A and B are shown apart, each in its own frame.
Chain A
Amino acid sequence: MTQVLTSYDKYLEDLQEFERRFPSSGFGRLSDIRESAIASFDKLGLPTRTQGNEDWKYTNIRSLASTAFQYVFEPNFERVTEAQLKELAPWDDSWASLVFVDGHYVEALSTASPRADGAHIGSLTDAIVTHKDIAERHLAKYALAEADGFSAMNTAFLHDGAFVYVPKDCAVERPLHIIFVAAGDAQPTVSHPRALIVLEENSSITIVESYLGVSSVPYLTNSVTEIVLGDGASAKHYKLLMENADAFHVGTTQVYQGKDSAFRSVSFVKGSAIARNNVSVLLDNPGGNCFLRGLYLTSGKEHIDNHIDIDHAKPHATSDLYFKGILSGRSKAVFSGRVLVQKDAQKSSAIQRDKNLLMSKGAEVDSSPSLEIYADDVQCTHGATAGAVAEDALFYMMSRGIDKETATLFLIQGFAREIVDEIQLTTLRDYVETRISGALPNLRSGQEL
């Protein structure tokens, strides 16, 4: 496996340079975190094996693992302008923003003020100094490097990122938009975006997390977001994956929920070479409420993998997952939802659903919602479906004078509506609706394949 070695050599080389430029010494726990992540990555590597590996059974990352991606030490900030962001990302002047290029914070493009509505919003590099206690208490405590090679690699390069801290009883009114842009232009690049979002007791915030590419070369985005909800805290979270079609994205959202806390997240994923969306939620206290919605849209040879893991550890918690996909061409979607209800988690309620609309014969879905239940007093359901555009529905609309293209668009929009309607930010909802309509030619051109 010479190729893998090449990419691994590149990784080692980058790591040395990284430690030289961004030394962790003097930052207390940070150096321990990085060191143990390096050790974990050495042990785990990347999950290139699909056989006998449930977590990566349907997603083959060999093309990713064999590419020698270059870590970007000095991003070309000029490649990213505000006008570009406004064009590529949902944009609302009333939102605050934190912008990162190739994983590095760009103050000039960010509008969030560090002390907004009583919260602290800024870069992780600063927060490691200004909010040392909080950063040390939470950083890398949820997305565990020893559990997953990608998280390990991200954590080995832990330095910059987004930091959000909402103190007790604080309700942040302004939605926060965290934008990660890949901007490489010479050789394949990798970035390791990182976000730590900590909500103390009874606090609340709305966060949009967007991933975009202005890169002219293939790239890998390997992100880790940790969200910690204190008792009674409430986070509304939106995740947008709008990466380039030839990009690789592996992203992990790791959520820890306190007592009676509410995590509500809606994701919209446009396909790329590989887009892997890991969401793990630990309902570690009674009464937690986790509401996840997802919409994914793939065409050509794109591949999307939603990997959802819900852990009901304590009683009276609810989780409700609903994902929908629209696939065309020879694209492929994987949905694996695992809901674990532990022995103590009586009176849990868990729902998970995945529905797919196949626009072509060549598109493929591997959907495997699963339940693992060790408590006896629970309510759990799961289901998955995949079907083609209904001919009778098309005929019905056409018999009213509506042309086939518009009728198809109505059906796609109708299919997506259940998820789109869960987006409570109008700007974001409009953005997603526009992207769905805009994707129609792609979706239709794949029909014959």
Chain B
Amino acid sequence: MLEIRNLRASIEDKEILKGIDLKVNAGEVHAIMGPNGSGKSTLANVLAGRPEYRVTGGEVLFEGKNLLTMFADERAREGLFLAFQYPVELPGVRSWQFMKSALDSVRRHRGLEELSIREFDKLYEEKLKLVSMDPDLMKRSVNEGFSGGEKKRSEVLQMLLLNPKLALLDETDSGLDIDALRTVSYGIDQFRSPLNAVILVTHYQRILNYVSPDYVHVLVDGRIVRSGGRELALELESKGYEWIKDSVGISN
């Protein structure tokens, strides 16, 4: 589904990603872990098409198509989704209108008809329940006045609505209390299927207790320095990031 080859990217002439290789197949969950500043979030944002980042080398194929020549909205319509680490507040933009418009454009691209208001509302209510969100929150402007946890739930809600092929979750677990973490994890679990894939970007292995990854990759200084199974996350948890830095010969 996704193939990243020797991807390099910088922001303001500072190189952050220094050659990433990664292959993700349908049905898989990959966790990308790493210390602060290792480039985890950059990777997620570069894949989603954030314009501030400049790709300086390598290629990314998504379902065989060159992802890097597409604008962010095209990538989303192709089936890529980024749950933001810091979801953006959109004052005056109604949540309902925002999500309906997003789903309409994604469906149009897939050759499906737009949902009627009634159909959309039904789907919307269904997904709201999955992430235990108060329907009244959705009458507000997008993310406006939401608590940190509500913002993250709303990201997962949007993922469930748009039903992408590949979901990139950028530290969706950070800043969540245990109940919110469970809800968010439950939402991700509901999303998982043999047809889609998930990349979980996280600093902590905590969420991996709820969403079990097939692969764990450790990112240090813009490179994947180690890949393994679920057990790698546990090893990281007990030994810390210093251990991996030492073991691959990178010092601060």
The residues in A between 254 and 268 inclusive whose CB is less than 8 angstroms from any CB of B are: none
Interface residues of A in 370-415 (CB under 8 A from B): 390-393, 395-404, 406-407, 410-411, 413-415
10 closest pairs, A vs B, by CB? A414-B92, A417-B92, A401-B76, A400-B102, A396-B88, A414-B93, A398-B72, A398-B73, A401-B105, A401-B106
Say yes or no: B98 contacts A397, CB within 8 Å: yes
Q: Is A416 positioned at the interface, with any CB of B under 8 Å from its CB?
A: yes
- The complex places the Cα of A411 from the Cα of B141 at a distance, in Å, of 11
| Contact (A400, B90) CB under 8 Å given A395-B72, A414-B141 | no
Contacts of A400 in B (CB 8 A): 73, 76, 81, 98-99, 102, 106, 158, 162
User: Are the C-beta atoms of A404 and B73 separated by less than 8 Å?
Assistant: yes
Report the separation of the CA atoms of residues A413 and B91 in the bound assembly, to the nearest whole angstrom.
Answer: 10
Interface centre among B82, B101, B105, B162 (most CB of A within 10 A): B101
Chain A interfacial positions (CB closer than 8 Å to B): 390-393, 395-404, 406-407, 410-411, 413-418
Nearest-neighbour CB distance to chain B for A214, whole angstroms, equals 33
CB of B84 within 8 Å of the partner chain: yes
Give Cα A356–Cα B163 distance, bound, in whole angstroms.
37
> Which residues of A are found within 8 Å of B76, using beta-carbon distances?
398-402
In the complex, A390 Cα to B97 Cα: how many Å?
A: 19
A414 & B91 in contact (Cβ 8 Å cutoff): yes
Contact B73 A410 (CB under 8 A): no
Known: A398-B76, A401-B73, A401-B76. 14 other contacts (CB 8 A): A395-B72, A397-B98, A398-B71, A399-B73, A399-B75, A400-B98, A400-B158, A401-B109, A402-B101, A402-B102, A406-B101, A410-B97, A414-B141, A417-B141
A-B contact count (CB 8 A): 86
Distance of B79 from chain A, by nearest CB (Å): 9
Kindly state whether residue B87 has any CB partner on chain A within 8 Å. Answer: yes
Tell me the smallest distance from the CB of B54 to a CB of chain A, in Å: 15
Q: Which of B43-51, B176-184, B203-211, B238-246 contacts A (4 or more CB under 8 A)?
A: B43-51
Q: Would you give the shortest CB distance from B87 to chain A, in whole angstroms?
A: 7
Quick one: which of A396, A406, A415 has the most chain B CB within 10 A?
A: A396
Query: Interface digits, B147-167 against A, CB 8 Å rule (1 contact, 0 not)?
Result: 000000000001000100000
Show 26 A/B contacts (Cβ-Cβ < 8 Å), sorted by A: A390-B88, A391-B51, A391-B52, A393-B90, A395-B49, A395-B72, A396-B84, A396-B87, A397-B90, A398-B71, A398-B73, A399-B50, A399-B72, A399-B73, A399-B76, A400-B76, A400-B98, A400-B158, A401-B73, A401-B106, A403-B105, A404-B73, A410-B98, A414-B141, A415-B91, A417-B91
Q: Please name all residues of chain A whose beta carbon is closer than 8 Å to the beta carbon of B109 when the two chains form the complex.
A: 401
Residues on B with C-beta less than 8 A from A393 are 88, 90
In the complex, chain A residues whose CB is within 8 Å of the CB of B101: 402, 406, 410
Docked Cα-Cα span, A410 to B52, in Å, equals 22
The distance in angstroms between the C-alpha atoms of A402 and B109, with both chains bound, is 11
B51 and A415: CB pair below 8 A? Answer: no
User: Which residues of A sit under 8 angstroms from B48, Cβ to Cβ?
Assistant: 399
B52-100 residues at the A interface, CB under 8 angstroms: 52, 71-73, 75-77, 81-82, 84, 87-88, 90-93, 97-99
CB nearest to A420 among chain B residues? B92
Residues of chain A lying within 8 A (CB to CB) of residue B51: 391, 395
**In the complex, what residues of B have CB within 8 A of residue A399's CB?**
48-50, 72-73, 75-76, 81-82, 84
Q: Which residue of A lies closest to B76 (CB)?
A: A401
A401 touches B82 (CB 8 A): no
Q: What residue of chain B has the Cβ atom nearest to residue A407's Cβ? A: B73
> Does B93 contact A410, Cβ atoms closer than 8 Å?
yes
Q: Is the CB of A413 within 8 A of B93?
A: yes
